């Protein structure tokens, strides 16, 4: 404009005037279509060309790039150059200036053409005349839908269930049929019935049945509670007298889901709910529009990473989820928060029953009827930053969609802490979303504002004192509405959810995209799958198998490791080496197969138990050893071929894949039998379930707690529609995936859902030798010998057994101190996991190909092999926190008592640490809230006194190590090398008599109330950050009758030696000269205590219950000085790692410091 006025350039003035008119247009970004966006891009490009003239401007610039560049040129420091460019452009003649004018006129004319429609569209958006308001169902619709699904989802005992195991009935526990509700952004009403689409399945998710459920919108007794217009009836000409019509319909029974799932119909069934009658079936069923794959599907957290989401796809998906969220908000259908882990996509199959490569943009939410994961609509906790957990969860889901990656939540935290952490992390990611690249910055900005609205808790906080309409003739409704989460507040929050979240997304979908709800988008994979077609996988709860295979020589190479172990063992003929024990939990094994009929192999199978037949099969009865399916026979053979020196213990836990769904009890018994009775070293499980099983998890944890056992399980093969299986995803189990002989991971492996997790392991699960294929396929059919993670798991079991055997042989043959042997650490899941990771060549990403053939060839020298094993588990071996355990005889109780050492031995039983004292922290007895000495109102219960004779205790930590120095010596010494570095900490207490003083339990209600009513105690209880805090009562003391000696000794030292040698064999033999040296350092402190001091104390923790009564529990901790058990428990020593300390949730407030001692060694001590 300045150029037109000052330089009298008419065209420049016209262009400036037109730009001013365009700037005054109240155009909203989501109202622009693709044609308007194109015109705007052209105009911005022309303006950039004017501002940079005569410098050229590339034609590839987008609208956003042009706009950003123009903003940069408008800065004050560029004013002189900008004026010159504009003047020069319009001085070049009409060929240039007319082009700019034409672009302005074109865009302004476009706006002029759109003006009538634009105003109408705006009116429709704001007033709802053309764009219909969404169908907001009355509350009773959601209530009836929930009751229908709740009643019919239970798998009931009936003729259908007894005939078919697919319903998953176990004993008297009616398992729920998995049910998922389709999240429809355009709900439908037909014949005055709200239509809901859902899919239900058998417990093993082998078949998904489509259902349309109709729920009446209007009733005579209920009124609509939310102020949106009901959608128009799409079939108003149908008979309105539906109750009379219902007489000709089939009423369905409570086990309707069981019936329709017994025999797949491959049709869409229609049912309708009729008030006073129940659910009726409508005939005929409709043809299926899509066929769903078996399996659990793909969770949203995986889909956003694995498939390409365009901006339009993001907005359509977000709208469907947000609209359904608003539709069901505050109802029982939203007991559980909606997250990317319970929103699912269902993979479809083609006409050949092969999974499609593309994924339909149709989301479902899984329905949880047990209520265990339920979260309130709002939280009455002043310390929570976002008191509406469901709305916060919606914000996180939308963030994951917008950023196309999953959100990492700390599920181990308490709910309030987790919500606060999620809220803060989501706000940080909101900034990233604002800067992310979208094709349309306008759409991105609107999407970002929607997420920001969800994260702003102030938008949804309702003033409880605000006036609202009261229900006629009802006072209870008013009271409910004033309570947190009352109906009035829920309804008001729903209105705001629609206005702030759903409506902006709806405008984008319906105006910017003009999306057709009948048109379903399909997403393409981010990475193309293997070119070979994958056959339809077996049911999800399955023994994992895969496709056709080609023979290779990898299995023969694995046997070379066992031959080398035999050579080492022969050098110690006087030592007996116990075979490593492998347990195979599968379908049994066929003892009549030629492979197992050889006497030497038959002797290697040392244990057998048939849990399908009631666990009555004996170890010696050959007639009971059977396998009708073949999967177990293949797994047993692979483990035996991979580790010929191992002994096998085989448990038959299911007849076949179909029986596995009901095999939870058998698997639990088999785990305990193998781990506790047979004391195996490795438990291999080549099967998986879609859902976690608490009983199986508990059995694994019980065995792990009692013994060192390596658990292995197959990750699964249904990559198209299933995540990692259970028990492979259990924290105490090593999950195994399949690779070919070259280390390429199979496309059938499950995706890595947690992108922040550690690496995933895979090994040989393909390319079986022909002789194995021929024998197994000839007996059981070709389907058993298909590759997959089952084969890889059995092979890994052999690799693990050979590794343990190799470590035992090297530790015996090489001159290594016993305490430096890595064998026991390798028999732990964590230790073996680190060892298997060492066996993987360097690879990018998360995938690690476990290749012992490569690893041991690289470590052919025995010393290098031993050093590699030692290095992989050294931290696990020496990161220990020792606790001493002692047995105390007490006739009054047989419960475990845990004792704590005081900070020093200067406390007297009549001082601050006395019976009845109330302290704030179990590890800090000086933080006294109240005691009988200072508060006479405390009336103690009866005190029991017992004298125990000649107590002597010690707490010693001794370390020897030096794996890194082994590697250094080996590099330049051809002879034998020995090195030992040690650290020693000893705390020893002299023999002394203990007088044990204890408060007699159980405590009375009056006594506990007198403690919690004290002002100082009450103030501490109420000061918790996330709830009420516990207090600790000193309920027992150990008082020494005489003085005793305390000895503290700290020492360190090292010894090293190098001996020249001749040609080295498998084990170096020392010949010739030698060189050795060493250093020892020690410090000893000793003193005597005064008589009559407190040696240790015992606690009870007191917690207020939700019903406002008070309970007391014996406070027990693995971090205490010692714990005494009921007789006749023997004295024992517990090794507690830093991970164990972190997992102990009984003492969340207790902190431990970790000191690095060097060489990978650590010491833990209480702060």
Joined tokens for residue 401: 């969609």
Closest CA to 959 of 868, 874, 885, 884: 874
The Cα–Cα gap between 1078 and 1053 comes to: 7
Joined tokens for residue 296: 């659990």
**586, 590, 627, 767: the active-site residue:** 586
Is 584 within 8 Å of 650 (Cβ atoms)?
yes
Which residue reads 């229900």 in tokens?
471
**363, 790, 998, 1123: the active-site residue:** 790
Q: What is the 3-state secondary structure (H, E, C) of 462-527?
A: CCCCCCCCCCCCCCHHHHHHHCCCCHHHHHHHHHHHHHHHHHHHHHHHHHHCCCCCCCCCEECECC
Query: Could you tell me how many residues make up the chain?
Result: 1167
- Is-catalytic flag, 730? no
**631, 730, 847, 994: the active-site residue:** 631
Helix axes 631-642, 554-570, angle to 10 degrees: 50
Hey, how many other C-beta atoms are within 10 angstroms of the C-beta on 202?
28
Gyration radius of the chain's alpha carbons: 37
The Cα–Cα gap between 359 and 363 comes to: 10
Alpha carbon 477 to chain centroid, angstroms: 40
Helix axes 441-455, 389-403, angle to 10 degrees: 160
Q: Give the CA-trace dihedral at 933, 935, 941, 947, to 10 degrees.
A: -10
Is 524 within 8 Å of 358 (Cβ atoms)?
yes
SS3 assignment, position 260? helix
- Is-catalytic flag, 437? no
The Cα–Cα gap between 348 and 177 comes to: 20
Dihedral sign from CA coordinates of 389, 391, 394, 400: negative
CB-facing half-sphere around the CA of 328: CA atoms within 13 A: 29
- Is-catalytic flag, 790? yes
Beta bridge partners of 1166: 1152
Joined tokens for residue 872: 């992989």
Closest CA to 59 of 74, 44, 80: 44
Helix axes 34-52, 79-91, angle to 10 degrees: 100
Contacts with 218 (C-beta within 8 Å, 6 or more apart), sequence order: 138, 192
The Cα–Cα gap between 101 and 22 comes to: 13
Query: Which whole-number Å values give the CA distances from 281 to 15, 66, 70, 180, in the listed order?
Result: 68, 60, 64, 20
Is 188 within 8 Å of 682 (Cβ atoms)?
no
Q: Give the CA-trace dihedral at 901, 903, 905, 908, to 10 degrees.
A: -90
Joined tokens for residue 665: 């009890």
Contacts with 263 (C-beta within 8 Å, 6 or more apart), sequence order: none
SS3 assignment, position 403? helix
Annotate 531-574 with DSSP letters as a single string: SSPPPPP--SSEE---S-----SHHHHHHHHHHHHHHHHHT-TT
Catalytic residues: 586, 631, 790
């Amino acid at each position: 404009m300045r150029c037109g006025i000052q330089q009298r350039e008419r065209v420049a003035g016209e262009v400036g005037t037109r730009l001013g008119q365009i700037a005054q247009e109240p155009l909203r970004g989501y109202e622009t279509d693709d044609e308007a966006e194109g015109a705007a891009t052209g105009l911005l490009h022309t303006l950039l060309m004017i501002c940079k003239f005569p410098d050229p401007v590339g034609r590839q610039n987008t609208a956003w790039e042009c706009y950003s560049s123009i903003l940069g040129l408008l800065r004050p420091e560029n004013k002189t150059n900008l004026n010159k460019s504009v003047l020069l452009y319009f001085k070049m003649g009409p060929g240039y200036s007319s082009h700019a004018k034409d672009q302005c006129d074109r865009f302004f004319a476009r706006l002029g053409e759109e003006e009538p429609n634009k105003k109408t569209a705006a009116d429709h958006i704001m007033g709802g005349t053309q764009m219909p308001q969404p169908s907001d169902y009355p509350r009773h619709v959601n209530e009836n839908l929930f009751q229908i699904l709740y009643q019919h989802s239970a798998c009931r005992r009936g003729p259908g269930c007894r005939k078919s195991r697919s319903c998953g009935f176990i004993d008297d526990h009616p398992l729920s049929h998995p049910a998922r509700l389709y999240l429809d952004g355009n709900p439908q009403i037909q014949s005055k019935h709200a239509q809901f689409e859902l899919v239900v399945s058998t417990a093993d998710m082998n078949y998904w049945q489509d259902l349309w459920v109709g729920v009446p919108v209007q009733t005579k007794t209920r009124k609509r509670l939310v102020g949106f217009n009901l959608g128009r009836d799409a079939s108003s000409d149908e008979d309105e007298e539906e109750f009379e019509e219902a007489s000709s319909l089939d009423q369905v029974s409570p086990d309707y889901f069981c019936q329709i799932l017994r025999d797949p119909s491959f049709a869409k069934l229609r049912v309708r709910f009729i008030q006073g009658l129940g659910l009726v079936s409508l005939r005929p069923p409709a043809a299926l529009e899509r066929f769903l794959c078996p399996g659990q599907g793909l969770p949203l957290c995986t889909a956003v990473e694995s498939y390409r989401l365009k901006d339009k796809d993001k907005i359509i998906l977000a709208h469907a989820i947000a609209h359904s969220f608003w539709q069901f908000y505050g109802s029982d259908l939203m007991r559980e928060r909606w997250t990317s882990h319970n929103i699912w996509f269902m993979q479809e199959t083609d006409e050949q029953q092969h999974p499609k490569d593309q994924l339909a943009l149709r989301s479902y939410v899984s329905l949880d009827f047990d209520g265990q994961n339920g979260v309130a609509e709002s939280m009455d906790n002043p310390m929570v930053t976002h008191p509406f957990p469901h709305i916060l969860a919606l914000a996180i889901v939308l963030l994951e969609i917008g950023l196309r990656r999953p959100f990492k939540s700390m599920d181990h935290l308490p709910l309030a802490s987790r919500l606060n952490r999620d809220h803060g992390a989501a706000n940080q990611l909101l900034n990233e979303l604002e800067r992310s690249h979208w094709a349309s910055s306008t759409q991105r900005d609107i999407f970002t504002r929607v997420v920001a609205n969800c994260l702003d808790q102030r938008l949804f906080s309702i003033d409880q004192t605000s006036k609202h309409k009261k229900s006629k003739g009802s006072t209870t409704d008013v009271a409910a509405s004033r309570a947190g989460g009352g109906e009035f507040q829920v309804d008001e929050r729903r209105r705001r959810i629609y206005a702030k979240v759903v409506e902006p997304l709806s405008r984008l979908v319906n105006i910017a995209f003009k999306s057709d709800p009948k048109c379903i988008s399909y997403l393409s994979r981010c990475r193309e799958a293997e070119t070979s077609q994958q056959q339809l996988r077996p049911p999800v709860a399955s023994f994992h198998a895969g496709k056709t295979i080609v023979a290779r020589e990898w299995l023969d190479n694995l046997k070379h490791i066992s031959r080398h172990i035999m050579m080492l063992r022969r050098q110690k003929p006087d030592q007996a080496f116990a075979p490593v024990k492998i347990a195979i939990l599968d379908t049994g094994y066929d003892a009549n197969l030629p492979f197992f009929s050889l006497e030497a192999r038959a002797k290697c199978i040392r244990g057998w138990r048939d849990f399908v037949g009631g666990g009555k099969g004996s170890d010696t009865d050959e007639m009971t050893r059977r396998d009708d399916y073949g999967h177990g026979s293949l797994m047993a053979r692979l483990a035996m071929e991979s580790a010929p020196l191992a002994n096998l213990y085989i448990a038959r836990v299911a007849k076949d894949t179909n029986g596995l769904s009901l095999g939870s009890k058998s698997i639990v018994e088999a785990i305990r039998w193998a781990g506790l009775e047979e004391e195996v070293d490795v438990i291999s499980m080549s099967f998986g379930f879609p859902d976690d099983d608490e009983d199986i998890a508990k059995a694994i944890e019980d065995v792990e707690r009692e013994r060192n056992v390596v658990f292995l399980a197959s990750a699964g093969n249904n990559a198209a529609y299933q995540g990692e299986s259970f028990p492979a995803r259990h924290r105490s189990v090593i999950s195994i995936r399949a690779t070919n002989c070259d280390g390429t991971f199979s496309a059938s492996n499950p995706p890595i859902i947690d992108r922040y997790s550690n690496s995933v392991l895979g090994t040989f699960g393909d390319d079986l030798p022909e002789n194995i294929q021929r024998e197994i396929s000839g007996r059981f059919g070709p389907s058993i010998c298909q590759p997959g993670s089952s084969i890889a798991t059995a092979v890994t079991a052999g690799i693990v057994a050979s590794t343990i055997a190799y470590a035992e042989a090297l530790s015996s043959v090489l001159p290594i101190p016993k305490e430096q042997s890595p064998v026991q650490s390798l028999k732990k899941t964590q230790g073996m996991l680190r060892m298997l990771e060492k066996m993987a060549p360097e690879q990018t990403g998360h995938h690690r190909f476990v290749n012992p053939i490569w690893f041991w060839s690289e470590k052919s020298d025995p010393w290098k092999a031993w050093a590699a094993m030692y290095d992989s588990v050294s931290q696990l071996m020496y990161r220990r926190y020792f606790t001493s355990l002692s047995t105390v005889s007490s006739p009054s109780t047989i419960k475990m008592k845990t004792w704590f050492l005081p900070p020093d031995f200067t406390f007297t039983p009549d001082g601050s640490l006395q019976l009845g004292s109330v302290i704030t922290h179990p590890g800090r007895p000086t933080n006294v809230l109240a005691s009988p000495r200072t508060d006479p109102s405390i009336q103690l219960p009866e005190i029991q006194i017992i004298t125990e004779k000649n107590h002597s205790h010690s707490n010693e930590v001794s370390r020897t190590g030096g794996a890194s120095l082994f590697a250094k010596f080996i590099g330049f010494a051809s002879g034998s090398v020995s090195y030992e570095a040690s650290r020693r900490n000893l705390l020893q207490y002299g023999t002394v008599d203990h007088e044990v003083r204890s408060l007699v339990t159980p405590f009375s209600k009056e006594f506990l109330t007198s403690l919690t009513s004290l002002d100082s105690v009450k103030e501490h209880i109420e000061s918790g950050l996330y709830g009420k805090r516990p207090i600790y009562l000193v309920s027992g003391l150990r008082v020494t009758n005489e003085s005793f000696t305390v000895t503290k000794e700290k020492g360190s030292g090292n010894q090293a030696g190098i001996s020249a040698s001749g040609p080295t064999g498998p084990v170096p033999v020392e010949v010739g000269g030698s060189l050795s040296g060493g250093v020892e350092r020690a410090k000893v402190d000793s003193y005597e205590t005064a008589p009559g001091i407190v040696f240790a104390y015992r606690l009870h923790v007191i917690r207020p219950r939700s019903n406002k009564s008070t309970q007391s529990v014996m406070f027990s901790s693995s971090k205490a000085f010692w714990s005494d058990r009921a007789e006749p428990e023997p004295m024992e020593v517990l090794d507690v790692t830093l991970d164990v300390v972190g997992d102990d949730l009984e003492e969340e407030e207790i902190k431990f410091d970790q000191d690095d001692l060097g060489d990978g060694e650590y010491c833990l001590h209480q702060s």
